[in-house]
Amino acid sequence: MPLSYREFNAFCGSLPATTHVVQWGGAHVWKVGGKVFAIGGWERGHHPGITFKVSEIGWEMLREAEGCRPAPYLASRGMKWIQSYGPGLGKRELKEYLKASHALVAAGLSRKKRAELGLIAEEAAAPKRGGNMKGKG
């Protein structure tokens, strides 16, 4: 059974540094660092449509898998996004893909942005290079 929108929103909200907006005709859009990593909406039939970014391997595995398809609007522009729209992916598996999508999008953010969001540890303890060395030596 696929995730409900309630479960989808709860799971995406549990991931670090996420924000949620409703846009594009009522779709639940989840972002990290201002960049979309998951969309709940645009369903096909009676099952929720859940769209997420995938790696090259994920793309090859899911683009023709049962209950999945290249995401409308996104995949047609050459992006590697999949929409799960029916039975096929279990809840646990779908959550793993959502988590991976979050990680893929976060990895594309600048190091500074990831640090601001708490996604990487800042190098506060590291000494600055090129500092004033007067009186040393």
One of 3.40.250.10, 3.50.50.60, 3.90.1150.30, 3.40.5.90 is the CATH number of 5-109, namely: 3.90.1150.30
Domain limits, the chain: 5-109
**Tokens 């994920």, residue located:** 58
What is the value of pTM for the model shown? 0.82
DSSP sequence for 80-105: -EEEE-STTS-HHHHHHHHHHHHHHH
Q: Show pLDDT as tens, one digit a residue, over the chain (137 residues).
A: 678 889 999 999 999 999 999 998 889 999 999 999 999 986 656 678 899 999 999 999 998 899 999 988 787 777 899 999 878 888 999 999 999 999 999 999 999 999 999 998 644 334 445 544 444 44
Residue 126: the pLDDT is 40
Contacts of 91 (CB under 8 A, 6+ apart): 1, 2, 3, 7
